[in-house]
Chain A
Amino acid sequence: MAERGVGRRPEHLAAVPGVGPPPADAGDLLREVARGDEKAFGRLYDLVAPRVYGLIRRVLRDPAQAEEVTQEALVEVWRMAARFDPARGSATSWIFTIAHRRAVDRVRSEQAASERTIRVGVASVDTPYDAVADEVSGRLERQQVRRCLDDLTELQRQAVTLAYYQGHSYPRVAELLGTPLPTVKTRMRDGLIRLRDCMGTGASA
């Protein structure tokens, strides 16, 4: 099952010699994008958009808003491309940082409105694109992330996932978990360190 999943990864499809464009690497593409290459941006889009959209949608839980914020984030990647510094991390990490901040900005401004409860109805709606996503997504990576999250202590996992996937601030996380602030800060840090050790290298592709 897992092997079939691996074989379907789009990165691998793109890597078949003589078929389609040469293998895409986010760092190389971003360098071309920084020189104003719109075609390279299109390829970068194809490489990262499902994860950028998936991440933003996970945080916002609203497909329509996720779409809008994904667009903002990816246009920001284009605008800022020349300022990406490879010495300070991978291209994918840089892109997801932009995307995540955008999503968190939006979700925090939304939290004031009482609509969040009402919108859960919308939130639980999976668009049909998810069915496609299941077919093509990088199952191996997902499994690894899940396995590593399972490897954390309960408090570490809660602290990391409430912040990252739901966009909560650490004081809010402390409140939700009924845990003192310093403990939450510490668990976020040592949770990430444990994840790093479990996952090994940096972001894929």
Chain B
Amino acid sequence: MTTEIHSLVGAYVLDAVDDIERASFERHLRECESCRSEVTELSETAARLADNTWSVPPPWLRENVLSEVGRTRQLPPVVEGAPPARTASRWRRFTAAAAAVVAAVGAGSAVYVVQDQRVREEQRVAEAARANEARIRTILAAPDVVLKKQDVSTGGRVTVATSRLHDAGVVILAAEAAPTGRVYQLWTIRPGGAPVPAAVLNEGQAADVVVLEGLPGATDVGVTLEPPKGSPTPTLPMVADVKLV
């Protein structure tokens, strides 16, 4: 049994185990000193893999993190060294567990077919995305770019970057999952005008980056929850309303 559980050491270090396996492995670690030192060494090695992933975070992230840190109480030290606690919300744990179940049920012989189709689909989507990518880069890098952020009332956040120079904007939505049977829809609102549909996300999609040409001049970017495929007029209340002026 001990050797059986210890064979998970590599998977444990790479976070490739599920919550139950992690808990039993950590129990095993408490009883096995040599295993602890193996985990320590291999964790150092795994951490080096992060050297390979340098990416400069967006400049506003520093400010966001530091201001949240200013509001967050630190935990006192513990004498008995507990592993870093996982503070993910219960909701997130539940969805992770649900995801594991779905993945397990959906697995099997069909996986290769799905993989193959997915690769082709990914290529097609990626090609279309490349054109879009250049535009997003340009707008985000514009010298006159203005960023507005707004929490989404159902969880998550929407960020709008606008550049008058390029007469365009980029909307970055990172929300919690929409309720079943609802999708996120984006709207632009101009002075004296009715909200105009700007983009509709797919079912199950909670994050997107959308370029909106001609965005400067609009007063608001709104986000609503709509039936699949979206609506011609917004269902109120909006879950987020980013004021641009």
- Rounded to whole Å, the gap between the CB of B98 and the closest CB of chain A is 6
Taking CB atoms, residues of chain A closer than 8 Å to B53 are: 51, 54-55, 57-58, 165
Most chain B beta carbons < 10 A, residue from A110, A118, A121, A138: A121
Closest to A129 in B: B56
What CA separation (Å) do A182 and B172 show in the bound complex? 42
Q: Is B32 an interface residue (CB 8 A)?
A: no
A188-B10, A192-B13 given as contacts; is B130 within 8 A of A124 (CB)?
yes
Q: Is A153 an interface residue (CB 8 A)?
A: no
Closest to A41 in B: B69
Contact check, B103 vs A100: say whether CB atoms are below 8 A apart: no
Taking CB atoms, residues of chain B closer than 8 Å to A132 are: 56
Q: Is A180 an interface residue (CB 8 A)?
A: no
Q: Is B1 an interface residue (CB 8 A)?
A: no
Contact check, B10 vs A172: say whether CB atoms are below 8 A apart: no
- Rounded to whole Å, the gap between the CB of B58 and the closest CB of chain A is 6
For A80-123 the 0/1 string (1 means CB < 8 A from B) is 11110100111011101111111011101111111101111110
Taking CB atoms, residues of chain A closer than 8 Å to B165 are: none
Taking CB atoms, residues of chain A closer than 8 Å to B132 are: 121, 125
Q: Is B199 an interface residue (CB 8 A)?
A: no
- Rounded to whole Å, the gap between the CB of A158 and the closest CB of chain B is 12
The answer, among B18, B95, B122, B136, for a CB contact under 8 Å with A117, is B122
Taking CB atoms, residues of chain B closer than 8 Å to A83 are: 75, 77-78, 81-82, 84
Q: Is A36 an interface residue (CB 8 A)?
A: yes
Q: Is A145 an interface residue (CB 8 A)?
A: yes
Closest to B100 in A: A108
Contact check, A129 vs B57: say whether CB atoms are below 8 A apart: yes
- Rounded to whole Å, the gap between the CB of B172 and the closest CB of chain A is 5
Taking CB atoms, residues of chain B closer than 8 Å to A115 are: 202, 204-207
What CA separation (Å) do A165 and B76 show in the bound complex? 32
Contact check, B18 vs A169: say whether CB atoms are below 8 A apart: yes
Q: Is A4 an interface residue (CB 8 A)?
A: no
Contact check, B15 vs A75: say whether CB atoms are below 8 A apart: no
Closest to B204 in A: A113
Contact check, B54 vs A75: say whether CB atoms are below 8 A apart: no
A67-B174, A112-B102, A115-B206 given as contacts; is B57 within 8 A of A204 (CB)?
no
Q: Is B24 an interface residue (CB 8 A)?
A: no
Contact check, B40 vs A89: say whether CB atoms are below 8 A apart: yes
Closest to B107 in A: A175
- Rounded to whole Å, the gap between the CB of B192 and the closest CB of chain A is 31
Taking CB atoms, residues of chain A closer than 8 Å to B141 are: 128
- Rounded to whole Å, the gap between the CB of B84 and the closest CB of chain A is 6
Contact check, A82 vs B137: say whether CB atoms are below 8 A apart: no
Taking CB atoms, residues of chain B closer than 8 Å to A63 are: 58, 172, 209
Task: Give 14 A-B contacts (CB < 8 Å), ordered by A residue.
Answer: A49-B62, A113-B204, A113-B206, A115-B202, A118-B205, A126-B133, A126-B137, A169-B17, A172-B107, A173-B16, A175-B107, A192-B42, A193-B42, A196-B42
Nearest first, the 5 closest Cβ-Cβ pairs linking A and B are A188-B10, A189-B10, A54-B55, A54-B53, A137-B54
Give the B-binding residues of A (Cβ under 8 A): 34, 36, 38, 41-42, 45-46, 49-55, 57-58, 62-65, 67-68, 70-71, 74-76, 78-83, 85, 88-90, 92-94, 96-102, 104-106, 108-115, 117-122, 124-130, 132-133, 136-138, 141-142, 144-146, 159-160, 163-165, 167-173, 175-176, 182, 184-193, 195-196, 199, 201-204
Give the A-binding residues of B (Cβ under 8 A): 7-11, 13-18, 36, 40-58, 61-62, 64-66, 68-70, 72-78, 81-82, 84-88, 92-93, 95-96, 98-100, 102-104, 107, 111, 115, 118, 121-122, 125-126, 128-130, 132-133, 136-137, 140-141, 156-157, 159, 172-174, 177, 202-209
